[in-house]
């Protein structure tokens, strides 16, 4: 029989959560249990927050409780990576419907604790409230800068444009699920697309190399490559050219897209939730950066270049340039359309 939240109460829950995430951390003077946490840092502190909402970012069909917890942490850590920071601590706020099964919350926390171990991050506090609406997980993270922050604003004409990992797989999984086409996929292709959606990873290894070697701009891909590239173009006041054929798209996504005559490129450009890094590097440093990425086992692909001209993004495909819009996942547009599907 499932134990419901109202049976163990707020304090009972916090005691259970504390057990799951407890770890030693010399920077933590006060962790879970007092009015606030106390930590010690030596360098500039980076702070960021992101939230996941049931029905918008995940459902029982798209995610498990464990992968939901892990992904909530990764979505936030990804922004620390995109600033060139090393991750340190987390605060997690949960808004929970009162009839939530306690075991689901514990599983979510096991997913969070796993990611914390992997990236040497400690969960030092948070808040639990009840809600009449859907479940919400908000994750706030701190990080430390070992060097300068990596901003969206320094791209300059002549730089190369790169992306880490591959793009579009997460959106491809959702599309296949919502179109009821999962069973059409080969088992290994399905496993890869599901992994991209359910278990994204923050790109700290790549970010650390970029922080050391210098990159002129950096952003993480939460809303889709088109949207994130536009953010760099606008912040830097430059024009970007993306070569369509260079965009790294997983073969599993190509296979899926062929079945329904979908464009694999559209998933990469407008899908989102890849949590890869997109940015620019001075062309003279590109070779060295690429070599270091390869030596560290990070997939690093040059997908285009920075030119002068009005801020914007163009796609070069089969010799033809076309302007691409700043389109991607947009919360309020999606809500207005009452989306259950993604584009
Ligand atoms: N409610 C808010 N109050 C103040 N600042 C905000 C708020 N929401 C977002 N911001 C700020 O706006 C900027 C852009 O935030 P945004 O959430 O779009 O970036 P992101 O986290 O990279 O994208 P995503 O949320 O898609 O992962 C950040 O500096 C962020 O701190
Ligand atoms: C059930 C379900 N429907 C749709 C999506 C797609 N989705 C939701 S939010 C988002 C962008 C990133 O969010 P944010 O901008 O808040 O970081 C995307 C691509 C999903 N993951 N689950
Ligand atoms: Mg955000
Ligand atoms: Mg971001
Ligand atoms: Mg974010």
Same structural domain for residues 136 and 179?
Answer: no
Q: Which of 145, 169, 185 is the last residue of a domain?
A: 145
Residues less than 5 Å from ion ligand 5, measured at CB: 50, 79, 222
What is the ipTM score, two decimals? 0.96
- Tens digits of per-residue pLDDT, 221-249? 999 999 999 999 999 999 999 999 999 99
Q: Is 222 in the pocket of ligand 1 (CB under 6 A)?
A: yes
C-alpha span between 278 and 229 (Å, rounded): 7
**Is residue 150 a part of any domain in this protein?**
no
Q: Is 79 in the pocket of ligand 1 (CB under 6 A)?
A: yes
Q: Which of 145, 170, 192 is the last residue of a domain?
A: 145
**9 CA to centre of ligand 5 in angstroms:** 31
Average pLDDT over residues 81-95: 98
Residue nearest atom 17 of ligand 2, based on CA coordinates: 222
Q: Is 273 in the pocket of ligand 1 (CB under 6 A)?
A: no
Same structural domain for residues 107 and 233?
Answer: no
Reported as half-sphere exposure (CB side, CA atoms, 13 A), residue 13 has a value of: 28
Residues in CB range of 82: below 8 A, 6 or more apart: 150, 207, 218, 219, 220, 277
Same structural domain for residues 194 and 295?
Answer: yes
**Is residue 342 a part of any domain in this protein?**
no
Q: Is 231 in the pocket of ligand 1 (CB under 6 A)?
A: no
Residue 20 belongs to a domain with what CATH number?
Answer: 3.30.1330.10
User: Which pLDDT does position 339 carry in this prediction?
Assistant: 66
Residues less than 5 Å from ion ligand 3, measured at CB: 50
| Three-class HEC string of the chain | CCCEHHHHHHHHHHHHHHHHHCCCCCCEEECECECCCEECCCCCEEEEEEEEEECCCECCCCCCHHHHHHHHHHHHHHHHHHCCEEEEEEEEEEEECCCCEHHHHHHHHHHHHHHHHHHCCEEEEEEEEECCCCCEEEEEEEEEECCCCCCCCCCCCCCEEEEECCCCHHHHHHHHHHCCCHHHCCHHHHHHHHHHHHCCCCCHHHHHHHHHHCCCEEEECCCCHHHHHHHHHHHHCCEEEEEHHHCCCCHHHHHHHHHHCCCHHHHHHHCCCCCCEEEEECHHHHHHHHHHHHHCCCCEEEEEEEECCCCEEEEEECCEEEECCCCCCCHHHHHHHCCCCCC
Average pLDDT over residues 196-209: 98
Residue 320 belongs to a domain with what CATH number?
Answer: 3.90.650.10
Q: Which of 145, 179, 201 is the last residue of a domain?
A: 145
- Tens digits of per-residue pLDDT, 142-195? 999 999 999 999 999 999 999 999 999 999 999 999 999 999 999 999 999 999
Same structural domain for residues 27 and 173?
Answer: no
Note the ligand closest to the C-alpha atom of 73.
5
Average pLDDT over residues 9-19: 94
Same structural domain for residues 20 and 141?
Answer: yes
Same structural domain for residues 103 and 193?
Answer: no
- pLDDT band at residue 337, thresholds of 50, 70 and 90? confident
**Is residue 333 a part of any domain in this protein?**
yes
Same structural domain for residues 190 and 329?
Answer: yes
Same structural domain for residues 165 and 291?
Answer: yes
Same structural domain for residues 27 and 76?
Answer: yes
Number of domains in the chain: 2
Same structural domain for residues 174 and 131?
Answer: no
Same structural domain for residues 48 and 197?
Answer: no
pLDDT > 90: what percent of the chain? 92
Domain that holds residue 286: 160-337
Average pLDDT over residues 19-40: 98
Same structural domain for residues 131 and 171?
Answer: no
């Amino acid at each position: 029989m499932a134990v419901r939240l109202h049976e163990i109460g707020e304090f009972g829950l916090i005691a259970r959560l504390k057990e799951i995430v407890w770890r030693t951390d010399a920077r933590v003077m006060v962790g879970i249990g007092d009015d606030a946490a106390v930590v010690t840092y030596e360098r500039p502190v980076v702070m960021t927050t992101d939230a996941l909402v049931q029905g918008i970012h995940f459902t029982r069909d798209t995610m498990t409780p464990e992968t939901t917890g892990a992904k909530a942490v990764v979505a936030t850590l990804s922004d620390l990576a995109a600033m060139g920071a090393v991750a340190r601590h987390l605060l997690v706020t949960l808004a929970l419907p009162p009839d939530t099964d306690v075991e689901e919350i514990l599983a979510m926390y096991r997913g969070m604790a796993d990611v914390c171990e992997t990236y040497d991050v400690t969960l030092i506090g948070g808040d639990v409230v009840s809600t009449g609406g859907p479940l919400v997980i908000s994750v706030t993270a701190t990080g430390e800068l070992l060097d300068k922050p990596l901003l969206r604003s320094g791209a300059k004409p002549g730089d190369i444009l790169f992306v880490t990992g591959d793009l579009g797989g997460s959106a491809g999984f959702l599309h296949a699920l919502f179109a009821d086409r999962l069973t059409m996929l080969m088992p290994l292709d399905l496993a890869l697309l599901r992994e991209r959606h359910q278990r994204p990873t923050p790109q700290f290894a790549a970010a650390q190399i970029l922080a050391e070697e210098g990159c002129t701009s950096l952003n993480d891909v939460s809303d889709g490559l088109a949207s994130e590239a536009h953010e760099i173009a606008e912040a830097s006041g430059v024009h970007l050219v993306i070569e369509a054929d260079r965009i790294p798209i997983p073969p599993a996504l190509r296979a899926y897209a062929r079945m329904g005559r979908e464009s694999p490129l559209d998933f990469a450009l407008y899908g989102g939730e890849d949590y890869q890094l997109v940015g620019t590097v001075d062309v003279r440093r590109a070779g060295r950066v690429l070599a270091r990425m390869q030596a560290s086992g990070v997939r690093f692909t040059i997908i285009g270049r920075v030119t002068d001209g009005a801020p914007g993004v163009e796609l070069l495909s089969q010799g033809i340039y076309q302007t691409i819009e700043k389109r991607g996942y947009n919360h309020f547009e999606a809500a207005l359309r009452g989306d259950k599907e993604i584009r």
